[in-house]
Structure formats: structure tokens, C-alpha cells
Amino acid sequence: MNYNLVEELRWRGMMHDIMPGTEEQLNKEMTTAYVGFDPTSDSLHIGNMVPIILLMHLYKAGHKPIALVGGATGMIGDPSGKSDERNLLTEDILAKNVAGIKRVLSRFLDFNSNAENAPILVNNYDWMKDFSFIDFARDVGKRITVNYMMAKDSVKKRVGEEGVGMSFTEFTYQLIQGYDFYHLHKEHNCLLQMGGSDQWGNITTGTELVRRMNTEQAAKAYAMTCPLITKADGTKFGKTAGGNVWLDADKTSVYKFYQFWFNASDADAEKYIKIFTFLDKETVDGLIAEHNEDPGRRTLQKRLAEEVTTLVHGTEALENALKATQILFGKSTSDDLKQLDEQTLLDVFEGVPQAEIERADIEEGLDMIAALSAKTNFLASNGEARRALKENSVAVNKTKVKEDYKITTDDLINDKFVVIQRGKKKNFLLIVK
């Protein structure tokens, strides 16, 4: 094998539970392993990155990864870590979500590769759709006792004294996920299932089913989980005030994605750079040492944000995000502004005072006093606006202007916006209705 996968995951802080014999199996030969992804949305967010990165490490170590999209299990809903029942998704929404997740996964794993250990993408709906309830109850349900299923944390928390109860539908989830492991074991010689630590119960049900359903021979099946990512301050990882941080630029702009990682605390950045990048130990240790000499330079956060943004969105998108960052915090030009798409521009100037203006005013030519005060109230009075213009401290789209300047349609960014600055730190956004 190219390198010891388990050792690699341990130093990166990506190992939580591992079934005895797993490491020996991985060190012995190319091993097929899978991770499941629930189609609860039509994209994936940064909370899903750890299982994706697990599969990427698996592939780099010479093993064969399978990414399973849960078209069937998504119809039921995984009770793990949930205090109440999930809402059931319609088939149309589910199909859209499955397609979206497949598209995202294909950016990280080459499912068209000709390599011996080429990744495989599967959907459990393909083998569950024709499985009758009676056959499932006979062939699968008979193998696992209710006592065994009740002992799982995901069930105990819901059916205990303080729980809200659990439907039969969600109770069967672990059997269906367990059957996935059996199916992949039989069809692809898949010996290992990986996932987050909250999946340990479901995964071990799978290893048990593999053993019990292979009556003719002693079948081997293994389990390995990674820790759920937490933030040093105790708040939930992957969430911002605006919601999830997504891996699709149309849901979370590349600028906002970059800023999420750049704004990580020192403690979090030190943890994240091991988990979310493929930088080797020597490089990571060097970056941590350099950062600790002068934390104010944010060496760790910059490298973390650059590496993860490049991994998810590519080099060109990173460069655009860096240019967008410079617009607020560094030197940039009118041309830089005009290259921003609408969403990135709104993200960059989020929280900046904004005012709407009629298109007719711009077409006629909007004078600077009106733009700064009379029509917008950006500045307290017309007098303050005149003083600012006399001081040569006003810029339109990063270009200094005088009192006689008129804002016209030529100044519009994306045919809709004008950025006005007073001095270096005060920014205003004009939005044309």
C-alpha cells in the first residue's frame, strides 16, 4: 500500500472508532470501502467534506472507494443524532437531490477513471426498489433481533423515558443501511464502511448483517468512523449566521466560502488544516510554528482558506475570491469591481449602508451631493457631502471624483450597482431599481 491510511488519519485527528482487524486488513491489500451520503438536499455542505476527504485519502492510499447516494434510505430518513422524526421527501425532490449530490461528488472523485482502484458511485435505490416488504422481512429482518436494534444509541435516545418515540419507518433505517453493506460486500467485495461517529451503530449493524447473511463462509466486514467536527467555542461547525456553508458556488459564493475558513479561530485553524487539506505533516507543523510566532498575520488561516477553496472550487475561483477580499481590505481598481458577479458583490458589501435609487435618476445623471446625502442619507447633510468632496476623499467605483461629477449608467456594475467610498473605511452601495 502507498501509505498507512490509519496512521495518516490518526495524526490528522480523523479517527474516532475502529473495529479490531481493520488496520491489518488495510495494510494487507487493496480494500474496497464505502461511505453513504443522504440526499436531504440537492447539494452538500462543508459538514459533508470529512466523509468525502476520507474517500479521497482511501484512494490516495491505493484502496478502492465507493460513494453511496441513499436514494432509498433518503425516503425514510436517518434517525441518528435526531431528536424527532424527519419529514419525508417526495420522489421528485429526492431524484433532484440525488442528481445534485452525484454532481458534487464527481468534483472530488473521478468515477470515470480506468485505474484498478477507480472510485465507484452507487445509489441504493437501484437494489432496494424491487425488494418486496415480505422478502425484506424474511431475508433481512429475521437476521437481527429487536433487542440488538433497541440497544443502538440512535434508538435508545428516542424511545427512552425522555424521547419522543420513533416510527417503525425510522426504526427500520439501520436494517436498510445494514443491507447496503451486505449488498456492496456481495457485489463489490466491499469490506469496510466509514462515516461520522454518530453512524457507528448503523455501521456495526451492517457488519453484523454481512456476517449473519453469509451463512456458507465466515465473511469479514469492518467499521471505521471519524469524529464529528466541533468548533473550539462550542458552536456548530459549518454554520454561519446565514445558514450552511455549501460546496456549490450558487448556494455559497466562493468569496463567502473563503471568508469562512479565513475567519476561523487559531485553535480551529490548527485543527482544520490537518483535516480539510492534504498538506503533509512536515508542512503543517511548519505552518503552525510560523503562525505561533506572529498570530496576527493569520498564516494558518490564509493557507487553510487557500487550500480548501482551491480543493472545492479551483485555482481561478480562489484568485477571484482573493481579488474580492482586496476590494474591502486592500488596493483594488474599478476594473476589479466590475468583474464581480452580483452575488459576490452583495456578499462583499454585506452590512454596508445601502440605498435604492430610481433608474431615471441615473439616466439623467445623478450629482454627487444627491448621491451622498440628498437622495441616500449616506452622509448626514449636503454640507458634509460638499466638505468630503472638497477634501478629495470621495470615490465612485474606486475612482476619486469631484463635486461636478455625475453618476451615469456607465458607472453601473452588473447594470445595477454603484460603490461609493468616503475615505478609506466608509463604503456605501447604491442599488438601481
Binding region for ATP: 239
User: Rounded to an integer, what distance in angstroms lies between the CA atom of residue 427 and that of residue 431?
Assistant: 13
244 forms beta bridges with 239
Helices 200-213 and 173-188: angle between axes, nearest 10 degrees:
50
Residue 393 class from Cβ within 10 Å (0-12 exposed, 13-18 middle, 19+ buried)?
A: middle
Binding annotation: 34, 173, 177, 239
The C-alpha cell 459533508 sits at 48
Q: Give backbone dihedrals phi and psi of 281, rounded to 5 degrees, phi first.
A: -60, -40
* Contact present, 416 and 431 (Cβ < 8 Å): yes
Contacts of 21 (CB under 8 A, 6+ apart): 220, 222
Region at 66 (left for phi over 0; alpha for psi -120 to 50; beta for the rest)? beta
Tell which residue, 421, 242, 235, 433, has the closest CA to residue 347: 242
DSSP type of residue 87: P
Q: What spatial distance separates the first Cα and last Cα of the chain, rounded to whole Å?
A: 61
User: Rounded to an integer, what distance in angstroms lies between the CA atom of residue 168 and that of residue 165?
Assistant: 10
Binding annotation for L-tyrosine: 34, 173, 177
Q: Give backbone dihedrals phi and psi of 169, rounded to 5 degrees, phi first.
A: -55, -55
* Contact present, 76 and 176 (Cβ < 8 Å): yes
Tell which residue, 211, 232, 209, has the closest CA to residue 220: 211
What burial letters (b/e) apply to 8-40, b meaning 16+ CB within 10 Å?
bbeebebbbebbeebbebbeeeebbbbbbbbbb
Tell which residue, 198, 191, 244, has the closest CA to residue 219: 191
Contacts of 219 (CB under 8 A, 6+ apart): 185, 210, 211
* Contact present, 78 and 202 (Cβ < 8 Å): yes
Show the cell assigned to 324: 474580492
